[in-house]
Amino acid sequence: MRQIASSGSPLEPEIGFSRAVRVGPHVFVAGTAPIGPDGETVGDGDVGAQTRRCLDVSAEALVAVGASLEDVVRTRIMLTDITRWREAAAVHGEYFSEIRPAATFVEVSRFIDQRWLVETEVDAIITD
């Protein structure tokens, strides 16, 4: 069984991707940018606010396919400035300090929108 979830991003149909895909107990949340419901960048210049928005969108996508943050087994945090990793890590800790998924923080040269400082990816396995 394959189940998909959309966050409503205008890029999803344009690019041809889903916010999240669930196949059996496995859930994969696509690279998630700090885009608000209005389509605008959230937290311009603020790594923490952008990380929070990305993880909130990811959490909503998980719920849409029957998962939750507690099912997360791996996260990837991509930053345009790795020297600011602690700002993203602090927010990551708010969500995952008890769950403790495998986590990777990496620097990338840039994202589609230059205002984006961070994107996240989340993988989950539903064990219930």
Model confidence at 8, pLDDT cuts 50, 70, 90, reads confident
Q: Give the model's pLDDT for residue 59.
A: 97
| Residue 93 near residue 51 (C-beta atoms within 8 A) | no
The predicted pLDDT at position 10 comes to 77
User: How confident is the model over 1-26, as a mean pLDDT?
Assistant: 90
Q: What tokens were used for 40? A: 């605008």
Across 84-91, average pLDDT: 98
Length of the chain, in residues: 128
Q: Are 20 and 123 in contact (CB under 8 A)?
A: no
The CA distance from 78 to 109, in Å, is: 10
Give CA–CA dist 19/32, Å, rounded.
Answer: 8
2-125: what CATH class?
alpha beta
pLDDT score, position 21? 98
